[in-house]
Amino acid sequence: MSSTSKSQKFGTAPVFFTAISTILGAILFLRFGYAVGNLGFWGVVLIILLGHLVTIPTALAISELATNKRVEGGGEYFIISRSFGLNIGATIGIALFFSQAISVAFYVIAFTEAFEPVFNWAFSTYGYELPRQVVSVPAMLLLSFLILKKGANLGVKALYFVVAILFVSLLMFFLGTTDYAAVFDFSLTNADFKNTDNFFVIFAIIFPAFTGMTAGVGLSGDLKNPSKSIPLGTTAATLIGMVVYFFVIYKLAISVSSADLMEHQLIMAKVAIGGSLIIPLGLAASTISSALGSIMVAPRTLQALSIDHSFPSRALNKWLAKGRTSDNEPINASLVTCIIALVFVILGDVNAVAEIISMFFMLTYGALCLISFLNHFGSSPSYRPSFKSKWLLSLVGFITSVWVMFKINTLYAFAAVIVMILIYLLINQYHKHRNGLESIFLNSLYQLNRNMQVFLQKSGKRKMREWRPSAICISKDSFERDTAFKLLNWISYKYGFGTYLHRIEGYYSKATYQQSQEELDKLISGFDKMENHVYVDTIISPSYTSAIAQAIQLPGIAGMENNMVIFEFDKENPNRLDLIIENYALARAGNFDFCILGSSRREFNFKNNIHVWIRSSDTDNANLMILLSFIIAGHPDWRKTDIKIFNICKKENAEATRTQLDELVVSGRLPISNSNIEIILEQENVAPKEIINEKSAEAGLTIIGFRGETLKHEKVELFKSYDEIGNILFINANSQKTIE
């Protein structure tokens, strides 16, 4: 039997005892009395309920996730990293590890409060106030020695012993009574809720008590059956802990006055039978058991992180991942954990750090609830947990976690988020090949997209009231030039939608399908080098006509019908023009706007403006040409450009045309100045093409309209003789667009 299999031998009890001993820990003994005295009975009831709006959904989410797939070493980190991807998982995992390691120090420092009578005696007898480190540092060193020497086996055995002491101390507390209880008539109806302004201040003090709920999950790599032990142990500890909390605050409320509750830290000692001994003993047991739980869990999180190569050094990952030969105990990770904890114990005051610890725990709990919710929403066939939570509970847990974070301490919440972002950027820098999220988000996006498409279709809203371009571009020359893709990308950047189809000539077969996948991967990889807002795909078809017929029947990617087809030809070698013109009627049969891009060998000059040429025959085309110029100019590539409108008209129409264009620009709120609108009078012996060649020779992009009747007569000649101009977009609108 391997060492690994030997180490995976624990059942449900260690999960339960690790969690319950942390839940019923230092905060319960040291802070619950102060909370009841400050807020009153009902105020603390509300704190417990609000805290469990986070912990119960998280416990159920963990239970669900643990029964879907085997949870290996690392507990919460393993679940998050296998759902959100290794980079985001490592980001949360590193923060989680430091929270767990510092928690060890927090509990050891709290352990010293059990020796308060000793400190008081030393001060009253010798007048010397002993530093807490005289107890906390030796305790931390002893704990480190035991965990490094014996490992989790000793920790689990010790847990049974300290939980027994904890149980006895709580039992003696509930059996105890006071003189105050004999004379004060307490009932739920006269219980108060006071100092509401301090609610979230007290909540921040109390909340670390709730974070012990997932303590046992970190033992996942050492469990015989994680899918059974984690749900049962975690859920039982959470629910039992909540019930005990209610009984404790009720006992405190009926037994002690508010003034005494706020004045005495170990007020439970005044209530319990033999309280002066049993409550400090219970506090010592609870804090040392919480420290044991954290010191067993934190190294396993660190070991799992290093196994996934989360750190930049290969040697460091290998060293941290190493387990002891005899029992696979994460000996090196345990050493690092002990050193970090010892540093904070020596510092002696981790109150400020405790709030940041809570922030990282809240982020972890929120992430776990979000994973559960997204799995429900994504409905992946591979998500088949034997224990099922409810998606609404997981959503409530996620929202509450985020909300409570910022209510506790907005500054610390922002600090935690910023630290997480910085860690993620660092990890992403040296693990670029792991960039990207896992399928959990893809499944959710697929479901959301499907439901939106069906809704739009059923509600008859696939046709937009306001016009915006939803364009298809078909090109066989994708690897020769990218001008058509660039045009589609500009249109799709902000205001429109675009689908770029790379045509593969031939019949559909295994060979052409394989070719299509290879060329698609190559295209996506190439286009990703620019800021890409276009959906890219391939289409296999034996002819241009059949490809167009297939493409124009495709549904729009944005939930609205496609309304524009873009064709492209090489101005220096316009042999494809005949094919484009032949399919004009086919595209217009579907009420598509028809655009033809004449690609020049000259690069786009983004500083030299977009020129829009309008003629008297462009009644339907004019508004579409102006709108497209505005949409294209909205892309960052064109941020330094202006739109210039030229209108060639007869002399008698010049004034009316000028007025009409000025009004259109003002009413349409278009970023075109009056000085960039030029009216050009028709001349008898001068063809419009000559004027356009002269005026737009240096334009970055020229937009020209054409009519269907003219195309039938002139055919390819309609698009020729623009030799002085660079890239030209020819437009034929299906109908007149409204500029609102």
pLDDT greater than 50 at residue 91: yes
Cβ-proximal residues to 617 (8 Å cutoff; 6+ apart), any chain: 705, 707, 710
Q: Look at residues 595, 601, 605, 604 and name the one whose alpha carbon lies nearest to residue 572.
A: 601
What was the pLDDT predicted at 730?
96
Considering only residues 116 and 345, tell me which one the structure prediction assigns the higher pLDDT.
345
Under the banding of pLDDT at 50, 70 and 90, the label for residue 149 is confident
What was the pLDDT predicted at 346?
86
Domain identity same for 338 and 231: yes
Contact between 330 and 323 under an 8 Å Cβ cutoff? The reply is: yes
The C-alpha torsion from 318 through 324 and 330 to 331, rounded to 10°, is: -90
Q: How far apart are CA 733 and CA 621, in angstroms?
A: 5
**Strands laid side by side in the 610-615 sheet:** 535-541, 497-505, 470-475, 564-570, 593-599, 728-732, 701-705, 610-615, 643-649, 677-681
Domain identity same for 87 and 197: yes
In a domain? residue 470: yes
Lowest mean pLDDT: which of 325-334, 587-596, 726-735?
Answer: 325-334
Domain identity same for 546 and 611: no
Q: E strand or H helix at 681, and its extent?
A: strand 677-681
pLDDT greater than 50 at residue 2: no
Q: How far apart are CA 623 and CA 120, in angstroms?
A: 87
Q: Look at residues 524, 544, 526, 547 and name the one whose alpha carbon lies nearest to residue 536.
A: 524
Domain identity same for 159 and 237: yes
Tokens 């409810």 found at: 390
Tokens 């020796």 found at: 115
What was the pLDDT predicted at 432?
73
Q: Look at residues 562, 535, 534 and name the one whose alpha carbon lies nearest to residue 548.
A: 562
Contact between 23 and 294 under an 8 Å Cβ cutoff? The reply is: no
Q: How far apart are CA 33 and CA 40, in angstroms?
A: 10
Domain identity same for 562 and 615: no
Q: How far apart are CA 245 and CA 247, in angstroms?
A: 5
Of 309, 329, 360, the residue that ends a domain is 360
pLDDT greater than 80 at residue 595: yes
The number of beta carbons lying within 10 Å of the beta carbon of residue 514 is: 10
In a domain? residue 297: yes
In a domain? residue 390: no
Alpha helix (H) residue ranges in 634-715:
654-667, 688-695, 708-714
Phi-psi region of 348 (alpha: psi -120 to 50; beta: other; left: phi over 0): left
Domain identity same for 144 and 16: yes
Contact between 492 and 562 under an 8 Å Cβ cutoff? The reply is: no
Report, as an integer, the average pLDDT of 297-305: 87
Domain identity same for 548 and 619: no
Domain identity same for 135 and 263: yes
pLDDT greater than 80 at residue 160: no
In a domain? residue 34: yes
Mean pLDDT of the chain: 83
- Helix, strand and coil percent figures for the chain, each rounded to 5: 65, 10, 25
The domain that holds 639 is classified in CATH as: 3.40.50.620
In a domain? residue 239: yes
- Tens-place pLDDT, residues 605-644: 888 899 999 988 888 898 899 999 999 998 999 988 899 9
Domain identity same for 201 and 146: yes
Task: Give the pTM.
Answer: 0.65
Tokens 């004027």 found at: 691
Q: How far apart are CA 252 and CA 269, in angstroms?
A: 11
Domain identity same for 46 and 113: yes
pLDDT greater than 80 at residue 528: no
Over pLDDT 70: what percentage of the chain? 88
Domain identity same for 635 and 562: no
Q: CA 299 from chain center: how many Å? A: 26
Under the banding of pLDDT at 50, 70 and 90, the label for residue 711 is very high
What was the pLDDT predicted at 354?
63
SS3 19: helix
In a domain? residue 375: no
Domain count, the chain: 3
Of 567, 583, 613, the residue that ends a domain is 567
Whole-angstrom distance between the N-terminal and C-terminal Cα of the chain? 77
In a domain? residue 604: yes
Q: Residue 143 sits in which domain range?
A: 3-360
Under the banding of pLDDT at 50, 70 and 90, the label for residue 379 is low
Tokens 């799992």 found at: 304
Q: How far apart are CA 554 and CA 507, in angstroms?
A: 19
Report, as an integer, the average pLDDT of 50-62: 86
The domain that holds 539 is classified in CATH as: 3.40.50
Lowest mean pLDDT: which of 100-104, 229-233, 278-282, 378-382?
Answer: 378-382
Q: E strand or H helix at 71, and its extent?
A: none
Tokens 């915006």 found at: 468
pLDDT greater than 80 at residue 116: no
- Tens-place pLDDT, residues 645-701: 999 888 888 888 888 888 878 877 777 888 888 999 888 888 889 999 999 999 999
Question: How far is CA 472 from each of CA 311, 316, 528, 543, rounded to the nearest angstrom?
Answer: 45, 51, 19, 17
- Tens-place pLDDT, residues 261-276: 888 878 888 888 988 8
Q: CA 250 from chain center: how many Å? A: 40
Q: How far apart are CA 303 and CA 309, in angstroms?
A: 10
pLDDT greater than 60 at residue 5: no
What was the pLDDT predicted at 672?
82
In a domain? residue 373: no
Domain identity same for 548 and 616: no
Of 551, 567, 583, the residue that ends a domain is 567
The domain that holds 217 is classified in CATH as: 1.20.1740.10
